[in-house]
Chain A
């Protein structure tokens, strides 16, 4: 049992907690176009990543996601210039307009580019980029293979398939390189289309070979020792899991998309579907978990730090949602006419909440066998 004392010692936080925190931040970001708030969210996520990421290879993905965000903003602006002209506001440039047939009404190609349109597009692009940054933060903080270890028993086979794919992918890349070199060694061109075709078949052959070897190894190590479960139960499990997933996905979509149908101020598609879906999911997983007679080595504990990190993410989302509920326009940056966006108080509190994991999450353990030397406290003072 993890006691309160050991919970904050250096260890890896449960990957689920990081993802819940990141989803909370992404939900908050989806509610606003205010660039100041969005940039503050990106900064908060970045600060937590810098404070709590491990030296593992996936931990460098935050920067990659930020770059991806810049591309998204550029793309969104380019689309606006090309297709989205409304012609209202201050015209900056007028592009030659292409007349489109009547069935394409509502879409224009070219035309006047206005400052207001461009600004709105930038804000929307920034919102998308912020959501991407939140995903990137979770990606660099949570160990992907440990995340797969927490998949419920009913999804065990899927989890194994993903783990195997993750380990095979880099091997496949090395192998492709080796086969390309082998072509050169035989005096065949190692560049160009023909070489790609020439490598593809042997690569397929060797990866099949590899899969067979792995399958044999897994079989010899007891993979697939299943407890006998009647067929009807298996079917019910499958149906429940599928239905639940669909429900949960639709529900989350409804929650995140502010424009979905509402009933008495509450999103109709959101909560009921999400909760119903999750209930079906839990039922399916409990049923399916019985199917697999396997146990788990050192499961990640869910202790106070996990609760704090999750609460921080949820708290951030709640402050933004509450601000929108109180005044639907408060989080939208003024575009027409363009004005400096304001700084509402409640979301600012939410962003401060988003920073909590930088302290609440336990510190990253130092890698064993690395060059890091543990200096005794007495000598540290002298140094």
Chain B
């Protein structure tokens, strides 16, 4: 269905290709998952399928890409709209109209389908994706999972044979991700659609994949085939696969269910051992406190009397579905949102009252769109501007950056960095003023496993130095690795607050894969299991 023959892509202005000599074949009716570290060309590969590369992006493409027998060389994206449906990373950025029903019809209108056909297909698609109740809703009022499903529906109405998705669940909470993936699986099973998708959160997707396409780096051959076989030697792998490698299971399990069936002996070996993990330093000196916060946006109550106290050395994870008030709580702690009732104290001051230049000495926030903080043309300029902003010694930011992510070229543009490098840069800008309270909003969005492991190391050492860290995230694996305490929010209230192991293991939605495999024993991460086995010898 999708065939790449000796494809090499070079973007204009770059001397090295992004993809080199890629050979790939995805047969009809398969769900193929593209994996690989960031910056390896996954998005480029996806955009080749419907001709956005090179027709839209520029650059040169050598070789041949054919989809359903059509050559992208002679067919620009618009002429492929009836065979390939593409859903981008941010669905909101790709919406053309403002209401669900119109958005579903847009593609068909462009193809000039007859009104009766359009009417019928819109109704079918509404049912297929469970959107019938939302048909009149403005797109901006939808939740993340609903938006993603509308985006998928809007390309399905033209009855494409191929569906291409770039990180469809990265921005979603676990439940919404399930919702989207269930819809996708239904499409593959019932409609025989061929799906090609890229995703960093392998733990969510890999069990649905019929084929995994692994990109290891420019120049290295693309490995494509049976998921268990391809992932056995992959740098990027979900925790369940890593646990399988550790325990030497064969074949490698891809789902929690398979792993549980293989895990009997491992559970027996672990009996009587307790995981070594950092305990929550609850008696440390208090850094920040929020008491009975109320925040309203118009009719919506974002925070309904939420209270949170954080002490030095703690890493607190704030979890909860989209719209539960996590970001609002973080914004209130850094003074961006002024609560209509309640008190915020960070290192002895109300952050909303502080002048901007003193704020960073109390609290630093890395927002969801971390790149918002970057304004300069080069990394070096960004660092020296930060030294001035924070009245730090010249070169302090650069030194810090080299510790967080060594080897970033000072002359490169912040935009050209990989997601992980960019996050490190923003962290350096915020940390150079040494705020006692560090807040992170959804820090692992777009990060691969390597970058995530690095972030975990950074956060642990920050906590050891006495910083208090609060992060809002959907990434249960990150929480399991690094958080000493976990807070669950719903509808602006805090519904659970306790040590990470207790909160995570008790929840079906938030339990990490290792906990699900080894339940009822409270193991959270592969690292904990490995350490325990090593001690045992």
Task: Judge: A and B partners, yes or no.
Answer: yes
Interface of A toward B, CB cutoff 8 Å:
145, 160, 163-164, 166-167, 170-171, 178-179, 181-190, 198, 201-202, 210, 213-225, 293-299, 367-369
The answer to whether residues A294 and B109 also contact, given A185-B367, A214-B94, A216-B52 and a CB cut-off of 8 A, is yes
A380 vs chain B, min Cβ distance (A): 24
Q: Would you call A179 and B372 a contact (CB within 8 A)?
A: yes
Contact assessment for B78 and A219 in the assembled complex, using a CB-CB cutoff below 8 Å: yes
Instruction: For A187, list chain B residues within 8 Å (CB).
Output: 356-360, 389-390, 433
Contact check, B88 vs A213: say whether CB atoms are below 8 A apart.
yes
Judge whether B96 and A185 touch: CB under 8 Å.
Answer: no
Count chain A CB atoms within 10 A of each CB in B95, B96, B111 and give the residue with the most: B96
- A225 / chain B contacts, CB cutoff of 8 Å: 78-79, 81, 110-112
* Contact of A297 with B118 at beta-carbon distance under 8 Å, contacts A184-B356, A187-B390, A369-B134 already known: yes
Which of A202, A219, A222 has most chain B Cβ within 10 Å? A222
Which residues of chain B are near A293, meaning CB under 8 Å? 112
**A297 with B115, Cβ < 8 A, contacts A220-B81, A221-B81, A221-B106 known:** yes
Max chain A Cβ within 10 angstroms of own Cβ: one of B115, B118, B356, B433: B356
The answer to whether residues A181 and B336 also contact, given A187-B390, A297-B109 and a CB cut-off of 8 A, is: yes
Decide: B360 and A202 in contact? CB cutoff 8 A: no
A-B contact pairs, 20 of them (CB 8 A): A171-B92, A181-B367, A185-B359, A185-B365, A188-B356, A189-B355, A198-B375, A213-B94, A214-B94, A217-B86, A220-B84, A220-B85, A222-B78, A222-B82, A223-B78, A294-B110, A295-B115, A296-B115, A297-B102, A297-B109
Q: In the complex the two chains form, is A182's CB within 8 Å of B372's CB?
A: yes
Question: A368 and B373 in contact (CB under 8 A), knowing A145-B98, A220-B81, A221-B110?
Answer: no
9 smallest A-B Cβ distances: which pairs? A217-B94, A222-B81, A297-B105, A222-B110, A182-B372, A213-B93, A187-B360, A221-B107, A369-B133
Bound complex: CA of A222 vs CA of B390, how far in Å?
49
- Alpha-carbon separation in the docked complex, A278 to B441 (Å): 57
**Interface residue from B84, B108, B389 paired with A295 (Cβ < 8 Å):** B108
Expressed in whole angstroms, the minimum distance between the Cβ of A215 and any Cβ of chain B is 8
* Min CB gap A211→B, angstroms: 9
Q: Is the CB of B356 within 8 A of A189?
A: yes
| Residue pair A214, B93 in contact (C-beta under 8 Å) | yes
Cβ-defined partner of A299 (8 Å) among B115, B158, B334: B115
* B335-361 contacts to A (CB < 8 Å): 336, 355-360
> When the two chains form the complex, which single residue of A224, A297, A298 contacts B78, counting CB atoms closer than 8 Å?
A224
Interface residues in B, total, Cβ within 8 A: 71
| Neighbouring A residues of B82 by C-beta, 8 Å | 222
B98 contacts A166, C-beta separation under 8 Å: yes
The answer to whether A220 and B52 touch across the interface, beta carbons within 8 angstroms, is yes
Report yes or no: B96 in contact with A214, Cβ–Cβ below 8 A: yes
User: Is B369 among interface residues, defined by CB-CB distance under 8 A?
Assistant: yes
Q: Could you tell me the distance between the alpha carbons of A97 and B360 in the complex, rounded to whole angstroms?
A: 60
Question: Which partner residue on chain A sits nearest B80 by CB separation?
Answer: A220
User: Which residue of B is nearest A184, CB measured?
Assistant: B356
- B382 → A minimal CB distance (Å): 10
**A220 to B95, alpha carbons, bound, how many Å?**
12
Q: Chain A contacts of B122 at CB under 8 A?
A: 297
> Is B430 positioned at the interface, with any CB of A under 8 Å from its CB?
yes
Contacts of A297 in B (CB 8 A): 101-102, 105, 108-109, 115, 118-119, 122
Bound Cα distance A293, B334 (Å): 53
A202: min CB distance to chain B, Å: 6
Other-chain contact of B107, A166, A222, A224 (Cβ < 8 Å)? A222
- Known pairs A184-B359, A221-B106; list 10 more (Cβ under 8 Å): A160-B96, A163-B97, A184-B356, A185-B430, A202-B372, A210-B93, A218-B96, A222-B82, A295-B113, A297-B101
- State whether A186 and B367 are in contact (beta carbons under 8 Å apart), knowing that A220-B52, A293-B112 are contacts in the complex: no
Closest A residue by C-beta to B370:
A182
Residue of A nearest to B151 (CB): A217
Complex Cα–Cα for A160 and B102 (A): 13
Are B112 and A295 touching (Cβ within 8 A)? yes
Which residues of B lie under 8 Å from residue A170 when comparing CB positions? Answer: 140
Check if A182 sits within 8 Å of B367, measured CB to CB. yes
CA A170 to CA B79, docked complex, whole Å: 31
Smallest CB-CB separation from A145: which chain B residue? B98
Query: How far is B109's CA from A224's CA once the two chains are assembled, in angstroms?
Result: 11
Output the nearest chain A residue to B359 by Cβ-Cβ distance: A187
Q: How far is the CB of A309 from chain B (nearest CB, A)?
A: 22
B364 touches A (CB below 8 Å): yes
CA distance A171 to B265 in the complex (A): 54
Contacts A185-B364, A186-B389, A367-B136 known; A220 to B369 CB distance under 8 Å?
no
B133/A223 in contact, CB under 8 A: no
Bound: A201/B377 CA distance, A: 12
**Roughly how many angstroms separate A293 CA and B81 CA in the complex, as a whole number?**
14
- Shortest CB-to-CB span from A193 to chain B, Å, is 15
Please determine whether B389 and A369 come into contact, CB atoms closer than 8 angstroms: no
Q: Return chain A residues, CB-CB under 8 Å to B154.
A: 221
How many whole Å from B344's CB to the nearest CB in chain A? 15
- Say whether B384 faces chain A, with CB atoms less than 8 Å apart: no
* Interface flag for B525 (CB, 8 Å): no
Known: A163-B96, A167-B98, A297-B122. A185 touches B52 (CB 8 A): no
Q: How far is the CA of A214 from the CA of B56 in the complex (A)?
A: 12
The docked-state distance in angstroms from the alpha carbon of A197 to that of B79 is 42
A260–B118 Cα distance when bound, in Å, is 49
A185–B107 touching, CB < 8 Å: no
In the complex the two chains form, what is the Cα distance from A145 to B76 in whole Å?
A: 29
B280: Cβ under 8 A from any A Cβ? no
Contacts of A295 in B (CB 8 A): 108-109, 112-115, 118
- Minimal beta-carbon separation of A321 from chain B (angstroms): 38
- Report A302 CB to chain B, min CB distance, Å: 15
A294/B94 contact (C-beta < 8 A), A170-B140, A185-B373, A369-B137 known: no
Residues of B contacting A202 with CB < 8 Å? 372, 375
Cα distance A213–B112 in the bound complex, in angstroms: 23
Shortest C-beta distance, A295 to chain B (Å), equals 5
Q: Mark B69-93, 1 if CB is under 8 A from A, else 0.
A: 0000000111111101110101011
Docked pose: A272 CA to B323 CA in angstroms: 59
B118 contact set on A, CB distance < 8 A? 295, 297-298
Question: Among B93, B98, B114, B136, which residue has the most Cβ atoms of chain A within 10 A?
Answer: B93
Distance (Å) between the CB of A54 and the closest chain B CB? 10
Cβ of B505 to closest chain A Cβ, rounded Å: 35
Contact B158 A217 (CB under 8 A): no
What A residues does B334 contact at CB under 8 A?
Answer: 185
Cα distance A210–B92 in the bound complex, in angstroms: 10
